[in-house]
Structure 1
Amino acid sequence: MAEIQAKLQALSEDYQKLQNDLQETVTARQKLEAQKQENLGVQKEFNKLKDGETIYKLIGPVLLKQDKTEAESTVNGRLEFIGKEISRLEDHLKDTQAKIEKKKTEIIQVQSSAQAAGAKPVSARA
């Protein structure tokens, strides 16, 4: 019986680690989505600009003048990177969720076998 308890404990710890990993991934995904929305907003603002208007980039406490083409390129590059990261995290989420379901099934099987093993001696005594 102690062996089954140890196995259940190990499975529960693995399950908890997977749950924590899932939560961290969801949080990272949310941060990336916020960054994506922010960059999409900047991109929309660029589209509203007229030719010759000045763009400034905040670097530390200083605003530096920046070329429109360079600024647009930077934002487009960020959006592309964020899109790839979101895609990667979504794949990781699916993988982690599958692992969680598998671990949950393992836990249920061990619990069922423990209950069955515990029930047999009781019925034998009756």
Structure 2
Amino acid sequence: MAAAKKELQQQLETQVSALSKIQKDITKNHQVRRQYTIQHGENEMVQKELELLDDEANVFKLIGPVLVKQDLVEAKANVSKRIEYITAELKRLDVTLKNLEESQTSKREEVMKLQQRIQAGNPGKGRP
């Protein structure tokens, strides 16, 4: 009986560890998503500013410490592609977050079941 209890304790520790990892992954996902959301907003502002320019306007791109002249059409295309990429990443992160939250819920249920089994194996002795 003591061996069974020890095995349940080990299972519980494993599940708690897995739950903790999932929670860290959720936090990391939120941080990355926040960064992409900021970048998305910044790129939308740049896109709006580029739309206001005349076709002959000079556009410069900062590459390291140097400003390099860039074609307006090319600049608009680059910003549009960047927005497309960021939007796709945000969608991917949303799907990943949903899956992580589902995993978190199932792990919590497993942990609670294991805790109940451990407590049921010790009636009258208090907490394990």
Question: Could you tell me the TM-score, scaled by structure 2's length?
Answer: 0.91
Q: 2:103 aligns with which of 80, 99, 111?
A: 99
What stretches of structure 1 of length at least 5 have no aligned partner?
none
Q: Distance in 1 between matches of 2:55 and 2:72?
A: 9
Q: Quote the sequence identity (%).
A: 35
Shift of 1:51: 2.8
Q: Counterpart of 2:90 in structure 1: which amino acid?
A: I
What stretches of structure 2 of length at least 5 have no aligned partner?
none
Shift of 1:113: 1.2
Structure 1 outlier segments of 4+, above 2 Å: none
Report Cα offsets for 1:73-101 as digits up to 9, x if no partner.
Answer: 00000000000010000000000000000
Q: Distance in 1 between matches of 2:53 and 2:122?
A: 74
Q: Distance in 2 between matches of 1:73 and 1:91?
A: 27
Q: 2:75 aligns with which of 67, 71, 74?
A: 71
For 1:1-126, list aligned pairs within 5 A: 1-119=5-123, 122=124
**Residues matched between the structures, number:** 121
Give the CA RMSD over aligned residues.
1.1
Partner secondary structure for residue 7 of structure 1: helix
